[in-house]
């Protein structure tokens, strides 16, 4: 084999460079697929420098709040985007169009509206506006503030004491979120049996919500009459109290005492029955006893009365009979 000529040596670098450029051209589409999408979704208004990072809405209960979402297509082909809301506040969003087709190198401003419920609680809620298209999904944060007077009202009810458990229910009667605190006190015949200071409960009570809870009392008395009092409080001046009474009686002594009482009553009833039978069965005379002789009345003075003869009676005769 003859060694390569100088011309061939000069052609090899050229072929290598061309092959490298071809391979890079083939790999560029794959690299582009891994890059960011060629479209965006964000709150309307502003420029790239001062663009809003989220949709902010504020209003009173019952009002309709409005804003716009901008979808920008920087690609070379039309883009179809589907819009929806997500989250607690996002579920209330309604878009003017749920599906939008944006031409190439164009943007579209899509109006959106959110209705604040009439029973909404003053405070902040959040959600998201979700745009899906071209195999990508973009989420835009949405923050909603409900303004209005705040009423904190908390109630405790249905208190019941049973053995070593205290049952009760908490009710939020206001329009503000509450984090209740509970204090428990129990009084017996001879003084205080239980005194637990106020402590926070592991729950957040929404307006109108009712929750049933229990409070353990492992060292409840065995014999006593108690009154249990519950006091609940929350921020905003919410406060309420309720109480319940219960009697603790040992089970075994109570059963034994009941048996003694039943036994005594049975003995008294048996004695009374025997005395009744003895009273009914009186002494009877002997079979050979003679009957008692009654004395005759004394004779009266004076002549004896004549015996009255029986009157003879005849039947009456008809008219013309003998006289």
Type and span of the H or E element at 135 = none
What are the DSSP calls for 262-278, one per residue? HHHHHHHHHHHHHHHHH
Q: How far apart are the C-alpha atoms of 285 and 292, rounded to whole Å?
A: 12
Determine the pLDDT at residue 295: 53
Using alpha carbons, list the distances in angstroms from residue 307 to 2, 71, 298, 303. Answer: 201, 152, 19, 12
Q: Domains, the chain, ranges and CATH?
A: 39-146 (2.60.40.10), 154-251 (2.60.40.3880)
Per-residue tens of pLDDT for the chain, all 323 residues: 555 555 555 555 555 555 555 555 544 444 444 556 799 999 998 776 778 999 999 999 999 999 999 999 999 999 999 999 999 899 999 999 999 999 999 999 999 999 999 888 888 999 999 999 999 999 999 999 999 888 899 999 999 999 999 999 999 999 888 999 999 999 999 999 999 999 999 999 988 899 999 999 999 999 999 999 999 999 999 999 999 999 998 865 544 555 554 555 556 556 555 665 565 555 555 555 455 555 555 555 444 454 444 444 444 444 444 43
Strand partners, 242: 230
Nearby residues of 42 by Cβ (< 8 Å), 6 or more positions away: 51, 52, 69, 70, 140
Q: Are 176 and 152 in contact (CB under 8 A)?
A: yes
Is the pTM value of this prediction over 0.75? no
Q: How many CB atoms lie within 10 A of CB 44?
A: 18
């Amino acid at each position: 084999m003859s060694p390569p000529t100088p011309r061939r040596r000069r052609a090899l670098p050229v072929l290598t460079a061309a092959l490298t450029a071809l391979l890079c051209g083939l790999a560029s589409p794959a690299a582009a697929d891994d890059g960011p999408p060629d479209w965006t979704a964000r709150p309307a208004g502003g420029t790239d420098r001062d663009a809003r990072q989220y949709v902010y809405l504020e209003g009173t209960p019952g009002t309709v709040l409005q804003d716009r979402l901008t979808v920008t297509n920087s690609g070379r082909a039309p883009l179809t985007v589907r819009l929806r809301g997500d989250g607690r506040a996002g579920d209330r969003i309604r878009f003017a169009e749920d599906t939008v087709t944006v031409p190439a190198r164009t943007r579209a401003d899509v109006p959106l509206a959110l209705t604040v419920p009439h029973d909404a609680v003053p405070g902040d809620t959040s959600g998201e506006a979700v745009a899906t298209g071209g195999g990508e999904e973009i989420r835009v944060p949405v923050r909603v503030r409900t303004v209005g007077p705040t009423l904190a009202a908390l109630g405790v009810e249905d208190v019941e004491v049973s053995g070593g458990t205290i049952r009760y229910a908490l009710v939020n009667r206001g329009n503000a979120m509450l984090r209740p605190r509970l204090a428990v006190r129990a009084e017996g015949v001879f003084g205080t049996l239980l005194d637990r200071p106020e402590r926070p409960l592991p729950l957040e009570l929404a307006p109108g919500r009712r929750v049933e809870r229990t409070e353990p009392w492992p060292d409840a008395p065995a014999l006593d009459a108690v009154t249990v009092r519950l006091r609940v409080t929350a921020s905003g001046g919410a406060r309420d109290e309720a109480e319940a009474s219960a009697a603790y009686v040992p089970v075994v002594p109570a059963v034994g005492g009941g048996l003694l009482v039943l036994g005594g009553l049975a003995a008294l009833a048996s004695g009374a029955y025997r005395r009744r039978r003895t009273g009914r069965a009186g002494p009877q005379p002997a079979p050979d006893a003679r009957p008692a002789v009654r004395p005759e009345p004394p004779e009266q003075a004076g002549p004896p009365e004549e015996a009255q003869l029986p009157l003879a009676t005849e039947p009456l005769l008809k008219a013309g009979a003998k006289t």
